[in-house]
């Protein structure tokens, strides 16, 4: 197993990091709370990278770590992590699959839940039992109901397909499993990116905040928290890269690796967001501090594409099969 | 980033596998149990001594070294493949790690010509080494060690006590950290001496540990005379050597730690099946969490290896000892829990598991203490990896 990034991968990561630092500062994420339209200039840039959705999962996940780090609003994850890998189509899109229970598996319910960014993509791939996929043009607002979550950086909708003629193309089981493994790895990549942002803020605060005449980061109680947060993050990041490599190789272990990656990312994000705000103390609890923008993203992502517990249960199904 | 290594590296693996298929002794084929302990009373059984010599003679003891040191000049990737293969098959390299894993690289890096000449026998296991580090008042604070070596012309006179000294009962030589300048700041008054264990004035008292085995000891030094030429590296320059030896230990051990943890997780799956707890959703989820931990730790180890092979520092390795030792302990606890009321029973005729989980749990207490406790590991991560200020 060789984790060495290629020159191309290093360049991709650096380019996106710089782009997002410039185009997606915390101020943009904050402005998006009340005005979803502010993401458009950023999307003009990120749109140039949608081909990542048909390329190697490893490249795609490295890019998603950066958009997660910036808590970037817009349909980037929906397109390169979900829609494009499923359809091969590089038009901005999203995927509708979960039913009322919120489980991201094929079902025959007409109302699809947790459809990401549905009002600002051009197409929606509806996954039907089989599994099979029907691609529709984005419908009007009468079929899309926004669902508020704690995260202001990501928009979530219910899509009502009642009465729509869905021309579904059957999907081979192996291809579907490979797609969902890639989708789990993709959101997990964004989650470790967001968690890295929060850990960075906590570290910065621990170095600069003085109490009792010394930086609070010199206290062992704070150091041990940060060491454990950092371990959780490094572990989850490695699990995401491994999952992406198994997808690229079509390895038989790919679903196990993807469930492990989403669960590891969920654990890391939860630990880091809780201890991250604890280390910040009172200032992190304020609306004007930027920390909550990232805490919100990290909190909500754990519930998308399967919770940590759901992924562990599916992993157990495979271990005890 | 890709799963497979190159064709040359896979050929290396095939050659190793062929060698192991042909030469692995039957005692090693039986495999250690999942804690890596072999049964029997001998501290190092004769078959294991012979096996280490066989590995050395065929260039499979420390493959990254040249043939005269028991290797074949292989690349870092191939060394990793070697460690991975040995760990997967649970084949031991040696029954006494200090000589090949710590003393050999330290002698090669810091020793003079005569001392470097001791390295092949250390790596082959012909000479058994122990390492005199910890003392009753110097555990995590190793630099606080007090064993005194006074230079008197052409020799040192050593007085003091070491503790937790693995293999001291059978060792030929001790790689011993001593205080040579009591007036200097504590890190700057330490030296390393090679001490023959049959020197007059050495007393070894076996120290029975928590599971009633005695493979380490206390070592007492009373007016032990050590020739000046047995000083390794500069006088009062021993602290750099402690840092070096621990680095050798950490760089290679994660593969084995992770493989052992994966084997424990595999045993948990089997245990749950035997006890019917595979139908218990709580048990299933906890076992899956252990599997997730194993997967992510292996990935983290490889990721660290990739940075290391590229020449950058590899912070990932600092996490591995902390993570694998804590993970192992928790997995044994889960095993005991799956045994239900029989969790603490060790009677071989009562309970299906004959106490292997609870015994392993007790053995695993050492793993979060020895070789740098979990608390010290967290300090290292916080200060050296994350760059936080010292308290």
Q: Tell me, what's the ipTM? A: 0.95
* Count of CB atoms situated within 10 Å of the CB of A44: 11
Q: Is residue A132 part of a domain?
A: no
Number of domains, chain A:
1
A4 DSSP assignment: P
Q: Is residue A139 part of a domain?
A: no
Q: Is residue A70 part of a domain?
A: no
Q: Is residue A111 part of a domain?
A: no
* Count of CB atoms situated within 10 Å of the CB of B112: 12
Number of helices (H) and strands (E), helices first, in chain A? 11, 9
State the pLDDT at residue B340: 92
**Could you tell me the sign of the dihedral formed by the alpha carbons of B217, B221, B226, B230, in that order?**
positive
State the pLDDT at residue A106: 95
CATH number at residue A197: 1.20.140.10
State the pLDDT at residue B248: 47
**B249 in catalytic set:** yes
Which residues between 47 and 66 in chain A have a beta carbon less than 8 angstroms from any beta carbon of chain B? 58
> Mean pLDDT across the stretch B373-382?
93
**Could you identify the residue written with the tokens 């098959």?**
B89
Which of B296, B378, B380 should one mutate to test binding to chain A, selecting the residue with the greatest count of A CBs within 10 A? B296
Instruction: Answer whether A279 touches B (CB < 8 Å).
Output: no
Task: For B152-203, write each residue's pLDDT tens digit.
Answer: 999 999 999 999 999 999 999 999 999 999 999 999 999 999 999 999 999 9
Residues in chain A: 321
Q: Which value, to the nearest 10 degrees, does the dihedral of the CA atoms of residues A179, A183, A185, A186 take?
A: 130
Domain span at residue A213 reads 173-319
Instruction: Answer whether A224 touches B (CB < 8 Å).
Output: yes
Q: Which of A16, A92, A85 is nearest to A52 (CA)?
A: A85
Question: In which residue ranges of chain A is pLDDT below 70?
Answer: none
State the pLDDT at residue B193: 98
Sheet holding A93-96, edge to edge: A93-96, A123-128, A132-137, A169-170
pLDDT at B66 over 80: yes
* Chain A residues close to B323, C-beta within 8 Å: 231, 235
> Mean pLDDT across the stretch B247-273?
83
Record: contact A227-B389, CB cut-off 8 A: no
Record: contact B292-A263, CB cut-off 8 A: yes
Q: DSSP string spanning A180-199?
A: HHHHHHHHHHHHHHHHHHHH
State the pLDDT at residue B181: 97
Dig out the tokens for B96 from the structure: 């006494």
pLDDT at B291 over 90: yes
The minimal CB distance from B292 to the residues A206, A264, A320 is found for A264
d(CA A177, CA A172): 9
- In chain B, the percentage of residues whose pLDDT exceeds 90 is 70
Q: Choose, from B249, B326, B333, B337, the residue flagged as catalytic.
A: B249
pLDDT bucket at B314, cuts 50 / 70 / 90: low
Which of B276, B283, B303 should one mutate to test binding to chain A, selecting the residue with the greatest count of A CBs within 10 A? B303
What's the mean per-residue pLDDT of chain B?
Answer: 90
Dig out the tokens for A50 from the structure: 């949608």
State the pLDDT at residue A22: 98
State the pLDDT at residue B372: 84
Dig out the tokens for B52 from the structure: 């280490």
Instruction: Answer whether A245 touches B (CB < 8 Å).
Output: yes
Record: contact B273-A220, CB cut-off 8 A: no
Q: Is residue A118 part of a domain?
A: no
d(CA A278, CA A272): 10
Instruction: Answer whether A239 touches B (CB < 8 Å).
Output: yes
Q: Is residue A59 part of a domain?
A: no
Record: contact A207-B388, CB cut-off 8 A: yes
> Mean pLDDT across the stretch B368-386?
91
> Mean pLDDT across the stretch B369-388?
92
pLDDT bucket at B210, cuts 50 / 70 / 90: confident
State the pLDDT at residue B249: 47
Q: Is residue A22 part of a domain?
A: no
Q: Is residue A283 part of a domain?
A: yes
State the pLDDT at residue B31: 59
pLDDT bucket at B313, cuts 50 / 70 / 90: low
The minimal CB distance from A219 to the residues B5, B293, B391 is found for B391
The minimal CB distance from B288 to the residues A231, A241, A315 is found for A315
* Chain A residues close to B383, C-beta within 8 Å: 223
State the pLDDT at residue B29: 76
Q: Phi/psi of residue A117, each to 5°?
A: 55, 35
> Domains in chain B and their CATH numbers?
7-95 (1.10.540), 129-236 (2.40.110.10), 241-385 (1.20.140.10)
pLDDT bucket at B245, cuts 50 / 70 / 90: low
d(CA B115, CA B93): 23
Record: contact A1-B375, CB cut-off 8 A: no
């Amino acid at each position: 197993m060789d984790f060495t990034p290629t020159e191309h991968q290093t360049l991709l990561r650096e380019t996106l990091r710089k782009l997002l630092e410039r185009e997606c500062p915390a101020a943009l994420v904050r402005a998006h709370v009340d005005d979803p339209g502010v993401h458009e200039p950023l999307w003009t840039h990120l749109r140039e990278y949608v081909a990542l959705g048909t390329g190697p999962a490893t490249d795609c996940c490295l890019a998603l770590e950066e958009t997660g780090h910036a808590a970037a609003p817009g349909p980037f994850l929906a397109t390169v992590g979900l829609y494009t890998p499923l359809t091969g189509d590089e038009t901005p899109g999203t995927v509708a699959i979960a039913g009322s229970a919120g489980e991201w598996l094929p079902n025959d319910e007409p109302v699809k839940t947790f459809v990401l960014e549905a009002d600002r993509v051009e197409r929606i791939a509806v996954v039907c039992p089989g599994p099979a996929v029907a691609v529709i043009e984005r419908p009007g607002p009468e079929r899309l109901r926004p669902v508020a979550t704690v995260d202001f950086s990501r928009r979530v909708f219910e899509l009502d397909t009642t009465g729509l003629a869905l021309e579904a193309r059957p999907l081979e089981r192996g291809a579907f499993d490979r797609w969902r493994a890639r989708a789990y790895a993709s959101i997990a990549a964004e989650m470790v990116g967001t968690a890295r942002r929060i850990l960075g803020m906590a570290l910065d605060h621990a170095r600069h905040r003085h109490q009792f005449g010394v930086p609070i980061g010199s206290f062992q109680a704070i150091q041990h928290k940060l060491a454990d947060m950092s371990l959780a993050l490094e572990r989850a990041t490695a699990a995401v890269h491994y999952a992406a490599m198994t997808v690229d190789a079509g390895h038989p272990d790919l679903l196990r690796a993807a469930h492990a990656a989403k669960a590891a990312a969920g654990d890391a994000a939860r630990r880091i967001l809780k201890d991250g705000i604890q280390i910040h103390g009172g200032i992190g609890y304020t609306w004007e501090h930027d920390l909550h923008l990232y805490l919100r993203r990290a909190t909500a992502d754990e519930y998308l594409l399967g919770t940590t517990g759901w992924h562990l249960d599916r992993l157990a199904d495979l271990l005890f099969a | 980033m890709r799963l497979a290594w190159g064709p040359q590296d896979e050929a290396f693996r095939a050659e190793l596998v062929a060698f192991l298929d042909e030469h692995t002794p039957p005692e090693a084929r039986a495999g250690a149990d999942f804690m890596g302990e072999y049964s029997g009373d001998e501290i190092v059984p004769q078959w294991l001594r012979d096996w280490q010599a066989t590995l050395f003679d065929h260039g499979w003891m420390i493959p990254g070294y040249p043939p005269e040191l028991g290797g074949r000049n292989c690349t870092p990737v191939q060394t990793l493949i070697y460690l991975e293969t040995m760990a997967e098959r649970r084949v031991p390299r040696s029954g006494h790690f200090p000589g090949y894993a710590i003393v050999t690289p330290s002698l090669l890096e810091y020793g003079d010509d005569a001392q470097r000449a001791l390295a092949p026998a250390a790596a082959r296991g012909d000479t058994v080494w122990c390492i005199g580090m910890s003392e009753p008042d110097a555990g995590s604070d190793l630099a606080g060690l007090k064993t005194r070596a006074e230079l008197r012309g052409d020799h040192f006179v050593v007085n003091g006590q070491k503790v937790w000294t693995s293999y001291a009962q059978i060792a030929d030589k001790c790689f011993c950290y001593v205080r040579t300048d009591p007036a200097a700041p504590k890190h700057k008054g330490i030296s390393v001496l090679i001490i023959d264990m049959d020197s007059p004035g050495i007393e070894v008292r076996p120290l029975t540990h928590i599971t009633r085995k005695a493979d380490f000891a206390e070592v007492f030094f009373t007016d032990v005379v050590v020739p000046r030429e047995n000083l390794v590296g500069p006088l009062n320059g021993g602290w750099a050597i402690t840092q070096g030896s621990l680095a050798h230990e950490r760089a290679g051990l994660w593969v084995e730690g992770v493989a052992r943890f994966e084997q424990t997780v595999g045993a948990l799956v089997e245990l749950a099946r035997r006890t019917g707890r595979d139908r218990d959703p709580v048990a299933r989820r906890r076992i899956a969490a252990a599997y997730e931990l194993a997967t992510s730790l292996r990935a983290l180890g490889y990721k660290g290896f990739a940075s290391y092979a590229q020449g950058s520092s590899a912070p990932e390795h600092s996490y591995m000892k902390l993570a694998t030792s804590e993970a192992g302990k928790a997995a044994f606890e889960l095993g005991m829990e799956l045994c239900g009321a029989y969790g603490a029973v060790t009677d071989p005729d009562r309970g299906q598991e004959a106490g292997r989980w609870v015994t392993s749990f007790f053995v695993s207490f050492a793993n979060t203490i020895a070789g740098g406790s979990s608390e010290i590991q967290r300090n290292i991560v916080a200060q050296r990896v994350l760059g936080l200020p010292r308290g």
